[in-house]
Amino acid sequence: MNIVIRKRITKVLFLILLVFAVGTSGFYYLLDGLTFIDALYFTIVTLATVGYGDFTPHTNMPPGGNPYLIKFFAIFIILFGMSTLLYGIGVMTEYIVSGEMLGERRRKRMQKLISSLRNHYIICGAGETSAYMMQELKKTKRPFVVIDKSEERIQQILNQFDELLYIQGDATHDEILEQAGLEHAVGVITSLPDEKDNLFVAMSLSQKKKERGFAFRIAAKVTNFEKMASKIKSAGADCVISPEYISGRRMISEMFRPSVTTFLDRMLKDDRAVMRVEEVTVSSDSSLVGKNLKETRISNKIGLLIAAVRKGGKGEFIHNPNAEQVIEEGDVLITMGDMDKIAALRKLAQGK
């Protein structure tokens, strides 16, 4: 709620309570034979302007009482009370209208920002697994949009991420995926709680890729790896991930390769220098095309070592390539280092 409106609502409530207190006290002391409830009733009747059908201020005027004083007091209560009530109605109306307007304005601004995204990722589902994905995307400076139909889960992730781009809706609906900028996305991750929904989304996305020539990758989360992985893969997912399967392999790695896993953990969790193993695709416009690794001087100019090369982005990897390895269009370079240096290599590999 807007802080200014909240203060005004508090002020209105205080004034209304003050009106009832002053009116009840005034009628109680100015008139004879009234109980506290009678005085409160008199105040409410006065404010409601329904008239004095059962009794009037003159009815209970004490002997020697001043009728003008009682009338002026009733006039004061009517004017002061009605002004307060009208003011309160105005504030509440403003709050309702402004809340709706702010919500609509926020949605339009959000949609405008999402529409301007290019080469971004779409995460379907805002559960715990997705939260870790968002952290990684944010650390590596990759734009993303989150889709979830639960307002509660949206609020939870809004508390964790500043300037989060999200859409509250059902990811199984095509129009929601379109709103997330599907046309310009490079990857869609479906991490919904129900595996059947993940299967449906993967199938729907695969169909769109065929019909409209989209180039994004599809990743899907599964719980029952043996039962569902092949189905989601055949539905069109490029990769299927099982958190349970990965955690099992990780536990074995901790037993066999504790130093390696510790190194990777520290690399992923260090906020001071974001180090990652990344892949960079060489485009036709790149100055790297036709040169060998020695001639590119990537290690000297950028400070990165090329750990592997995947020719044409397909097939086998050439591990630890020698200095005479020629770089060609479509090759994927595997490297590890600081994200800023990797960004420089990516810019060099993209050419224009």
Which CATH number do you get for residue 148?
Answer: 3.40.50.720
Shared domain check, 131 and 71? no
What tokens appear for 288 in the block? 């790297």
Domain boundary among 65, 84, 109: 109
CA angle 337, 340, 346 (to 5 degrees): 85
Answer yes or no: is 252 within a domain.
Answer: no
Q: Are strands 305-310 and 332-338 parallel, antiparallel or unpaired?
A: antiparallel
Residue 25 has pLDDT above 80, yes or no: yes
Question: In the beta sheet, which residues pair with residue 221?
Answer: 241
What tokens appear for 310 in the block? 């995947």
Shared domain check, 230 and 133? yes
Domain boundary among 89, 109, 129: 109
| Band (96; pLDDT cuts 50, 70, 90) | low
User: Which pTM does this prediction carry?
Assistant: 0.66
Q: Are strands 239-241 and 217-221 parallel, antiparallel or unpaired?
A: parallel
Q: What are phi and psi of 123, to 5 degrees?
A: -110, 120
What tokens appear for 210 in the block? 């065929």
**Do residues 160 and 188 make contact, with C-beta atoms less than 8 angstroms apart?**
no
Residue by residue, DSSP assigns 212-265 as H----EEEEE-SSHHHHHHHHHHHT-SEEE-HHHHHHHHHHHHHH-HHHHHHHH
Answer yes or no: is 256 within a domain.
Answer: no
CATH number at residue 96: 1.10.287.70
d(CA 66, CA 5): 42
Shared domain check, 228 and 312? no
Burial of 311 (0-12, 13-18, 19+ CB in 10 A): middle
Q: Determine the pLDDT at residue 345.
A: 95
Shared domain check, 124 and 88? no
Q: Determine the pLDDT at residue 303.
A: 93
| Band (13; pLDDT cuts 50, 70, 90) | confident
Shared domain check, 160 and 78? no
**36-89 tens-digit pLDDT:** 777 777 777 777 766 666 555 555 566 666 665 666 666 677 667 777 777 777
Burial of 135 (0-12, 13-18, 19+ CB in 10 A): middle
Answer yes or no: is 253 within a domain.
Answer: no
Question: For the chain, what is the domain count?
Answer: 3
Q: Determine the pLDDT at residue 101.
A: 63
CATH number at residue 339: 3.30.70.1450
Answer yes or no: is 258 within a domain.
Answer: no
d(CA 328, CA 338): 24
Name the E strands within the chain. Answer: 120-124, 144-148, 166-168, 185-190, 217-221, 239-241, 275-281, 305-310, 317-319, 332-338
Answer yes or no: is 100 within a domain.
Answer: yes
Answer yes or no: is 327 within a domain.
Answer: yes
Give the closest residue to 29 by CA, choosing from 42, 18, 17.
42
**127-185 tens-digit pLDDT:** 989 999 999 999 898 999 999 999 899 989 988 888 899 999 999 999 999 999 999 99
What tokens appear for 241 in the block? 């991930």
Shared domain check, 122 and 104? no
Name the 3-class secondary structure at 315.
Answer: coil
Domain boundary among 42, 74, 109: 109
Shared domain check, 126 and 234? yes
Which is higher by pLDDT, 5 or 322? 322
Answer yes or no: is 65 within a domain.
Answer: yes
Shared domain check, 215 and 174? yes
> Tokens 């300037």 — which residue?
163
Answer yes or no: is 26 within a domain.
Answer: yes
Q: On the CB side of 125, how many CA atoms lie within 13 Å of its CA?
A: 22
Shared domain check, 64 and 140? no
d(CA 225, CA 240): 8
Shared domain check, 52 and 18? yes
d(CA 83, CA 136): 56
Shared domain check, 11 and 82? yes
For residue 42, what are the domain limits? 3-109
- Which of the residue ranges 44-58, 101-115, 217-231, 236-250 would you say has the lowest mean pLDDT? 44-58
Shared domain check, 159 and 230? yes
What tokens appear for 11 in the block? 């002020």
Q: Determine the pLDDT at residue 72.
A: 65
